[in-house]
Amino acid sequence: MSSVASDLPLLCTPLYDLHLERGAKMAGFAGYDMPIQYPSGIIKEHLHTRFHAGLFDVAHMGQIKITAKSGHLADAQAALESVLPADILGLKRGRQVYSQFTTASGGISDDLMVANYGDFILLVVNAGGKMADNAMLQQKIGDRCHIEYLSERALIALQGPLAAECLAPHAPELKKMRFMDVRQSVLWGSDIMVSRSGYTGEDGYEISLPAHACDQIVRKLLTDPRVNLIGLGARDSLRLEAGLCLYGADLDQTTSPIEAGLNWSLPKIRRAGGARAGGFVGSDIILKQLAAGPARRRVGLQPQDRAPIRGGTLLYQSEQGGTAIGTVTSGGFGPSVGAPVAMGYVKSEFLPPLATKTQIFAELRGRRIAVTITQLPFVPLRYAK
Amino acid sequence: MTKYTKDHEYVKLNGDAATIGITHHAQDALGDLVFVELPALGRKVSAGEAIATVESVKAASDVYAPLSGEITAVNQAIIDDPGLVNRDPEDKGWFFVMKLSNPADFDGLLTEAAYKALL
């Protein structure tokens, strides 16, 4: 879990008072004072989300609404395709897609969700980069699009196998949504924008709601004993087990979507030979890499010992000597796996053929410990497909 | 008699043997522990040396030798079940026992009142 050091006072989400009331341990994260954990602790919070329903404050994240100045949404969709590699023109009303803002050198400046609400496109971006994303969009597509940063809206996530059941009595229409569907709805009188998605590997929803109603709505959801507040600590262990990338750790300006193994988010239509091939920032470099194969690739790493390996740990081919063949970018303990789990980048020449396991070594406190390169995710994904 | 360090460790003195562990405050600040690494038996350690590691879900932290001496016992129970440190830090969740080189050094550690004043 990385935090951004700064002298600026930390910002608060609308749920700040609630976090303090519930005994949260707070810490600075991307400029916000956020709950890392509640008194039950990260392991219990993690497992609660896997078995019941966890409620996350993710109001630090950015929500950006995009409309076309021409009045035709397709013009905004086309404009967005110049800054990210997804098929946005083909994104149907009521659907969402995962993508990345790419850089001229083929790196990633942020990763995000893009949702088509019919009258507008909603982007959900990371807290750390939201202001830079907004400025980049103004600069690159501001001539064609209205770009509105939604500062008056909060975001919460309800995740876990019971999420749908817990939400259904209050908004029955949300139950029939499938994974990556989006829709507008009403929850206790407030207008909400909902996607059936999340960052835990479980079924669930991310709900955009008016900031002024957030506290009241969350308290109502928490009256259901199956719903518990979950902090950012468990959010990190849940997403790590699910093999999902954290921007700033697993993805950054020096990492390409191909190296990160996000090829699945680069559809055929935007690849060489596709009807709208390339045309996004850095597409020459990224498409070349897709064809030739990347020099390094993101992989799952499972230490054979019980010691967790953390971001920054170097990886080696043998138990002694040699130069590093890779680096851990995220690592910790996986409460559902019951063992340490990690992910990182390894030079391609040292990678095993798919579906075979290879042992390498991680240097930890002056010793090399055995680590197995594994497929991601570490737990089965349980989306409502 | 029990004294404390500013690094949130307690030291229980019994003759020239000292039992060392982390305080309730320390385990609470660290959160759920998932891994503990302890020094080898017989290792000679100096005051302030990082000689053990605790890993929570979130991060790794060092545990220091509060005084100089030799490691005479380590607690296998917390290696097998790191959560024991969270549940009972100042009794069953002890880390290691040291034979102090100079038992008089113990007097220089913090009293309970002085330690609590730091929290």
Q: Do A333 and B34 touch (CB under 8 A)?
A: yes
Name every chain B residue with its beta carbon within 8 A of the beta carbon of A36: 58
As for how many domains chain B has, the answer is 1
Name every chain A residue with its beta carbon within 8 A of the beta carbon of B60: 308, 310
Instruction: Please check whether residue A224 is in contact with residue A36, taking contact to mean a CB–CB distance below 8 angstroms.
Output: no
Report chain A's terminal Cα–Cα distance, integer Å.
30
Whole-angstrom distance, CA of residue B108 vs CA of residue A29: 38
| Percent share of chain A, pLDDT over 70 | 98
Domain that holds residue B74: 2-118
Contact residues of A toward B, CB < 8 A: 1, 25, 36-37, 41-43, 46, 233, 236-237, 306-308, 310, 332-333, 335, 340, 365
Q: For B61-115, how does the pLDDT look when each residue is reduced to its tens digit (9 = 90+)?
A: 999 999 999 999 999 999 999 999 999 999 999 999 999 999 999 999 999 999 9
Dihedrals φ, ψ of A383, to 5°?
-75, 155
Q: What angle do CA A301, A304, A310 make, to 5 degrees?
A: 50
User: If you write DSSP's letter for every residue of A234-271 in order, what string do you get?
Assistant: HHHHHHHHTT---BTTTB-TT--TTTTT-GGGS-GGGS
**B53 Cβ under 8 Å from any chain A Cβ:** yes
**B55 Cβ under 8 Å from any chain A Cβ:** yes
Whole-angstrom distance, CA of residue A133 vs CA of residue A190: 27
pTM for the full predicted model: 0.95
Question: What pLDDT band is residue A357 in, cutting at 50, 70 and 90?
Answer: confident
Q: Is the ipTM of this complex over 0.85?
A: yes
Whole-angstrom distance, CA of residue A95 vs CA of residue B16: 70
Q: Do A308 and B32 touch (CB under 8 A)?
A: no
Mean predicted confidence (pLDDT) in A170-191: 98
Q: For A39-51, how does the pLDDT look when each residue is reduced to its tens digit (9 = 90+)?
A: 999 999 999 999 9
The pLDDT of residue A165 is above 70 = yes
The CA-based diameter of chain A, rounded to the nearest angstrom, is: 64
Name every chain B residue with its beta carbon within 8 A of the beta carbon of A332: 57-58
Q: Do A41 and B31 touch (CB under 8 A)?
A: yes
Name every chain B residue with its beta carbon within 8 A of the beta carbon of A37: 31
Name every chain A residue with its beta carbon within 8 A of the beta carbon of B55: 307-308, 333
Mean predicted confidence (pLDDT) in A195-224: 98
Residue A272: CB atoms within 10 A of its CB come to: 12
DSSP code, position A221: H
In angstroms and rounded to an integer, the radius of gyration of the C-alpha atoms of chain A is: 21
CATH of the domain at B57: 2.40.50.100
Residue B115: CB atoms within 10 A of its CB come to: 20
**B116 Cβ under 8 Å from any chain A Cβ:** no
Q: For A4-48, how does the pLDDT look when each residue is reduced to its tens digit (9 = 90+)?
A: 455 678 999 999 999 999 999 999 999 999 999 999 999 999 999
Which of A42, A241, A330 has the most B C-beta neighbours within 10 Å, making it the best mutation to test the interface with B?
A42
**B49 Cβ under 8 Å from any chain A Cβ:** no
The tokens of A245 are what? 């990338």
Q: For A105-130, how does the pLDDT look when each residue is reduced to its tens digit (9 = 90+)?
A: 999 999 999 999 999 999 999 999 99
Q: CA of A25 to nearest chain B CA: how many angstroms apart?
A: 9
